[in-house]
Amino acid sequence: MTASLNSLDIAKPPSATRVVAAMSGGVDSSVVAALLKRQGYDVVGVTLQLYDHGAAVHRAGACCAGQDIHDARRVAEAIGIPHYVLDYESRFRDAVIERFAESYLAGETPIPCVECNRTVKFRDLLGLARELGADALATGHYVASRDLGTGHRGLFRAADESRDQSYFLYATTQEQLDLLRFPLGGLDKAQTRGLAAEFGLAIADKPDSQDICFVPSGRYAEVIERLKPGAARPGAIVHLDGRVLGEHEGVLRYTVGQRKGLGISGAEPLYVVALDAQNARVIVGPREALSVARVDLRDLNWIGDSALADLPPEGIEVAVRVRSTRAPREARLLADDKGVHVLLAQGEEGVSPGQACVIYDHAGSGARVLGGGVIMANRAPRPAPQPEPAYATT
């Protein structure tokens, strides 16, 4: 007789199902741990110490990471589960912080949260969960996973589209996805905070984190310059028509689509159109120059049903997000011997190299994530040459 599935789609009673709950010290992950404990699961809380905030920003006493660990420990004690803190600081620095800095210096706008999920959290932590004999690893992300009836699970947008975090989880592999569970996928934030209050958790009103964890001030350039002293090169700010409009102190201070803070003035609003890190140039132009109709991808992660190699030559209809703050837009996905390409049904502005392009099966609510990749830099536009000066002849 086949055992019935529990709420995590595992053929065991909850009491015989071990779940490692990734606890960041925030409201969402704390509610996940408490919810699973109330449902009768064998829950083990694990918190990763990822960075020394004081060292990251050179501010003594700014150890928010320590406060988060303290909050996670208090929640674990309150709900009665074992709790472990693991020092993953060196792994986080190598896999996330160093790559973040290198990407910015290359003229990209990276998303460290994607890299953290892909490596430290879902690769290393998932390995630990297996060592602990866990049947599942649960996190507080707002995203849904469901059994596809094929022996594998699919990744879907959360019910609350305003909280949906699928954009940051596109790099989850099929092997990882099969072990991961996301209990908050069907809830909104108000419901989650309501559960935190119901459970009597001291962090029920704790504010959400807004910035990248190791850049609490939001000033990315300062952190990168501390990590890579002397790496930033000054250069020219150049208009698409060839005019040199000013100078900059490093391309890492700019991102494609940026308008404010350029330090230049003109008759028309100017935007960063491209970053030419090799030649230390920031290229600017009018807003219409930002529109992009084709996006080339690298480092693609594919979790669709059929292999990319089996796509028809004309590609398939999909929906994509080129920024976390944008809704999925209709597009066509193609794969050939030169790589993977996305043709946008309507041009998108501010498509920045280093950001993610996440692929969905459709643009509506509850769409399934098919995968995604890193947006590649198209060849930097070459500004028009300036005319030679006319000299008077005698």
Q: d(Cα 103, Cα 347) in Å, to the nearest integer?
A: 25
Instruction: Determine whether the annotation assigns residue 305 to a binding site.
Output: no
CA 46 – CA 62 distance, rounded (Å): 23
Q: Is 140 known as a binding-site position?
A: yes
**DSSP class of 93:** I
Q: Is 213 a catalytic site residue?
A: yes
DSSP 269-318: --EEEEEETTTTEEEEE-GGGG-EEEEEEEEEEE-SSS-GGGS-TT-EEE
Record the tokens describing residue 298, joined without a space.
């690298």
**Which position has the token pair 């609510």?**
365
Is 1 within any annotated ligand binding site? no
Q: Is 48 marked as a binding-site residue?
A: yes
Please indicate if the annotation marks 29 as binding a ligand. Answer: yes
Active-site residue, from 63, 113, 116, 357: 116
Catalytic residue among 63, 64, 113, 213: 213
Encode 337-368: b = buried (16+ Cβ within 10 Å), e = exposed: eeebbbebeeebebbbbbbbbbbbbebeebbb
200 has binding-site annotation: no
Give CA–CA dist 267/66, Å, rounded. 50
Active site residue 64: no
- 120: its two tokens: 């430290």
Is 374 annotated as contributing to ligand binding? no
227 is in an annotated binding site: no
Ligand-binding site membership of 26 (annotated):
yes
- Establish whether 23 is an annotated binding residue: yes
**Which positions are annotated as active-site residues?**
116, 213
Q: Which residues are annotated as a binding site?
A: 22-29, 48, 140
Q: Which residues are annotated as a binding site for ATP?
A: 22-29, 48, 140
